[in-house]
Chain A
Amino acid sequence: MLEAVCFYAFAALMLIAALSVILNRQPIYSVLSLLVVMFCLAALFIMLGAYFVAALQVLLYAGAVLVLFLFVVMLLNLERETLARMRVFTLRGVGTAAAMCLLILLWKMLASPQAAARFTDAATARGHGSIEAVGRALFTTYLVPFELTSFLILAAIIGAVTLGKFHE
């Protein structure tokens, strides 16, 4: 009962915040709304027993990525977004229609009986979302992809620094 109340409260708050992300004209409000989405998602991850992922979500997404966004929004001192006049109507119409099609498609797929697996309580009993369990999988089965992400991050750092130093 309590779980259902928590789930629907966080889900509703998350969807409202997500809508506020895409409907706000001011980028800074959108970034702050996305922060609310991240925290609601972290709460849902905890309800799913993924404690380590929830911590990562708060530390990395809310702590690093969104702060980066805030820095850039404040650095660029954005004025209110101007839309290309000719295309406002088509953009809105086509964008919303495409999103609706995707939603209907996903809804049909995910609400089908084959997709409706049941949660097993045995999973949580084994400490399934703990740092130890995730770390064990990360450093044994997924060791090679884990090492490869270091190359990815190195490439991202070099790219960002090179782009940042680029003058004329």
Chain B
Amino acid sequence: MIPLTHYLLLSAVLLTIGLAGIMTRRNVLMILLCIELMFNAANLAFVAYARAWGDVSGQVAVVFIITVAAAEVTVGLAIAILLARQLRTLNADEVSLLKW
């Protein structure tokens, strides 16, 4: 039997990889991909705890997270297409229109 701690540490490593990706990559699409990676790390922790406590609520939370992630990706990719079309760049450093 695999202890719960192993699943949680795996989830922590996955979250860390996602964070490292967000902070080191500059492409908007890559940042969105790394956010997906972090969502999945959270999902793994939720499901592991749901199993450990014998409570189905953790799995319901994962259903909601997947829905929210799908909505987020839809709008995020629409913005990425708009950036590529209007500013001709996908580099997050060059998109500083909102910077004061």
Chain A residues near B (Cβ < 8 Å): 3-4, 7, 11, 14-15, 18-19, 21-22, 27, 30-31, 34, 37-38, 41, 44-45, 47-50, 52-53, 56-57, 60-61, 64-65, 68-69, 72-73, 75-76, 78, 81-84, 87, 91-92, 94-96, 98-100, 102-103, 106-107, 110-111, 115-120, 122-124, 126, 128-129, 133-134, 136-138, 141-142, 145-146, 149, 152-153, 155-157, 159-160, 163-164, 166
Asked if residues B63 and A53 are in contact (CB atoms below 8 Å), the reply is yes
**Bound Cα distance from A87 to B8, whole angstroms:** 34
Which residues of B19-45 are within 8 A (CB) of A? 19-27, 29-30, 32-34, 36-37, 40, 43-44
Asked if residues A134 and B60 are in contact (CB atoms below 8 Å), the reply is yes
Asked if residues A95 and B71 are in contact (CB atoms below 8 Å), the reply is no
Contact of A142 among B3, B43, B60, B77 (CB under 8 A): B60
**Mind listing 22 A-B residue pairs with CB under 8 Å?**
A3-B1, A19-B17, A21-B17, A21-B34, A22-B17, A27-B29, A30-B33, A41-B40, A53-B47, A65-B73, A69-B77, A72-B81, A78-B90, A95-B22, A99-B19, A106-B15, A110-B9, A118-B4, A123-B53, A133-B56, A134-B63, A156-B71
The answer to whether B87 has its CB under 8 Å from any CB of chain A is no
**Bound Cα distance from A96 to B22, whole angstroms:** 10
Q: A-facing mask of B50-79, CB < 8 A → 1, else 0?
A: 111110110110111011111111110111
Chain B residues near A (Cβ < 8 Å): 1-10, 12-27, 29-30, 32-34, 36-37, 40, 43-44, 47-48, 50-54, 56-57, 59-60, 62-64, 66-75, 77-82, 84, 90-91, 93
**Bound Cα distance from A116 to B48, whole angstroms:** 11
Taking A48-B47, A50-B51, A78-B27 as given, write out 12 further A-B residue pairs in contact, using a Cβ cutoff of 8 Å, ordered by the A residue number: A19-B17, A45-B44, A56-B63, A56-B66, A76-B90, A81-B27, A107-B9, A115-B5, A117-B4, A118-B52, A163-B79, A166-B82
